Chains A and B, each alone.
Chain A
């Protein structure tokens, strides 16, 4: 059948006229265009099925559950309207968790981007072994989070940790710090580990951005007598603007949605000091067994991230119009 189609279409397409290509294209659009449409839709069906069945259906389920008192302990659930939501919104613990999530996200994003940019600029220099380092520097990002948590809990152990040992030689009190279980340190510790894990990814994207900065621009600036700092601030940084915004947005989502690093590091403890929204949602569902209430946590998490994304998009659109 394909061969037949080829025979039928060949003479039209192979005409000697200079506009043959375009002409045949326009003429083919009627039948072939429709077939193209069918094929293009068909090719998207498996991907669409994955997204609809694995995201759409769970989303609908979680929203529906959030209006019920569903629990893993009982087979039936009753509709309770907005009760779960009104309970959460009236609970100071919810607002604290939300605030902590924003702090965790903001601090992680800022540090990941700042350090990632520094590393990217370093790897943008010319030196021997640069290619090797570029690959090596990505390792934290491909390492299973379980292993990331394990390594850092081992290095920061208050009794045997190698970092605690080194700190202890400077100041004995520092050697005994319980990084993951001290109430005032835990959040900072998991943020620090999260930065170590995220930096490779921000670095590689920002490095791609740096390499797309036209060399002539940088050279022209230095010929004009601009120092390195001025060149960076006035030439490189504005050029990176779009990529920085995109990275910031992606990492805001990654961090806000993070579950495994915090859960494996601290389980949200001590005394809820690292309890962020996704960990709380899990906790309510699988330790508290309250599916309905967990649904409300999940939906409020989604609404928050959607609001943040909306702000980013609005800002990006405005920035695009301006430049």
Chain B
């Protein structure tokens, strides 16, 4: 009621009120995580929206008392490996799905959509059994291998929607000129679809950086944990205090936030292209 009165009096003010409310809803939790992680312990539990005393003690405690740096290293290793493999596999697959109009390609496209239906737990219980028989539990290689299943279907689908926007004539012209498929893909298609490649690379990095269930099941030893797994371990550990715990949250989220904000133009467009064309 109040809103509709406001909307009649000043539509512009109503719009800004809605924008501010929505922005607080989305961003306040991030502000609060960040600010709490640098709030002096004496003020941490007072709930003041802007604390007056700041300190990096929580970070000091975090790095001194736990193998966070090792976990960062593991996370980077896993995410980089998953990303590289995903990009190669997806570029090949998406090129095939986009430019060859074979029935097989269409069936494969449908299969990829179908894979979205799969709950991770359905994969991870048998995956644990299989990997432990192969001796790949507690190893980066095993984790990377299994995580491909999270990234590849989504990335092929997304990249395909970039490829199909390229006029087919370009593809055929390259072929008629006698260039091999590899050549056409490398020097004609990839440069045009570069934003798409960036999009899938960033998404697979983010997906594997964030993943929790697979490391939870496939990694047992502290030395092989990824960052989310380590932080989750803190959360269940009553001896860990809020300060270092919140600091570990910041360390985990910061890389994705930075990456995302730098490349957000590509990513937003990528998602929107995928939404309309896919």
Residues of A within 8 A of B (CB): 2-3, 5-7, 9-10, 13, 21, 24-25, 32, 36-37, 39-41, 43-44, 46-48, 50-51, 54-55, 57-59, 61-62, 65, 119, 122, 125, 127, 131, 133-140, 142-147, 149-155, 159-162, 165-166, 196, 200-201, 204-205, 207-209, 211-212, 243, 250, 253, 256-257, 259-260, 263-264, 277-278, 281-282, 285-286, 291, 294-295, 298, 301-302, 305-306, 309
The reply to whether B242 and A162 contact each other, CB–CB distance below 8 Å, is no
Contact-size category for B: 35 or more
The reply to whether B127 and A204 contact each other, CB–CB distance below 8 Å, is no
The reply to whether A150 and B231 contact each other, CB–CB distance below 8 Å, is yes
Assuming A47-B152, A136-B27, A147-B33, is B267 touching A61 (CB within 8 A)? no
Secondary structure class of chain B's binding surface, majority of residues: helix
| A99 shortest CB reach to chain B, Å | 17
CA distance A143 to B257 in the complex (A): 7
The reply to whether A62 and B125 contact each other, CB–CB distance below 8 Å, is yes
The reply to whether A65 and B183 contact each other, CB–CB distance below 8 Å, is no
| B232 shortest CB reach to chain A, Å | 5
The reply to whether A243 and B232 contact each other, CB–CB distance below 8 Å, is no
Residues of chain A within 8 A of B180, CB atoms compared: 2
The reply to whether A127 and B15 contact each other, CB–CB distance below 8 Å, is yes
B93 within 8 A of A: yes
| B184 shortest CB reach to chain A, Å | 10
Task: List B residues 168-183 near A (Cβ within 8 Å).
Answer: 172, 175-181, 183
B23 within 8 A of A: yes
Secondary structure class of chain A's binding surface, majority of residues: helix
The reply to whether A291 and B125 contact each other, CB–CB distance below 8 Å, is yes
B96 within 8 A of A: yes
| A25 shortest CB reach to chain B, Å | 8
CA distance A55 to B235 in the complex (A): 31
Residues of chain A within 8 A of B242, CB atoms compared: 154, 160
The reply to whether A154 and B179 contact each other, CB–CB distance below 8 Å, is no
B18 within 8 A of A: yes
8 A-B contacts, Cβ less than 8 Å apart?
A2-B179, A13-B176, A37-B102, A150-B246, A153-B235, A253-B117, A298-B119, A298-B121
